[in-house]
Amino acid sequence: MTTLRIGDMAPDFTAVADNGETVRLSDFRGRRVVLYFYPKDDTPGCTAQACSFRDHFAALADKNAVVLGVSPDGVASHRKFKTKYNLPFLLLADEDHRIAEQYGVWGERSMYGKTFMGIHRSHFVIDEEGRIVDIQYKVKPEESVVKALRALER
């Protein structure tokens, strides 16, 4: 499993967004990026995290930050989730979990006594030059946006 550190260059990637467009992380150079990883669209924790980013979207934008959500769900699922909760940011499909692996957030999880491979809820704050300035592995849904905003204050 890859372990990234503060100060590392954020691994670049290409993904299809909920709007059908292909985006690269490097497309956002010159802006700060809050890249957050979540396990599954429209589940309680993931909805709480996404709605938290939605509710603080203006504060994040005021700090020159773009929000990108990443999960293994496909574009159609992302589109439905985004519409249902009026999410104002892009959701990226990572169906082969390649991006999650690059960021060290794909691994063994357990729920209800079953072990499986999946996303560990995490986020990365990336500066205008593409360097990681904050990492939160296994962050709680309700703490993610608060910690991201705190990192953007620095």
Residue 27: closest CA among 60, 68, 87: 68
CB neighbour list of residue 33: distance below 8 Å, 6 or more residues apart: 10, 25, 65, 66, 67, 68, 124, 125, 126
8 Å CB contact between 131 and 107: no
* Catalytic residue from among 34, 46, 87, 126: 46
Contacts of 76 (CB under 8 A, 6+ apart): none
Cα→Cα distances 117→39, 73, 128, 134, Å: 10, 14, 32, 25
Q: For residue 111, give the 3-state DSSP assignment.
A: strand
Catalytic residue status for 46: yes
Helices (H) then strands (E): counts for the chain: 5, 9
Identity (one letter) of the amino acid at 114? K
Catalytic residue set: 46
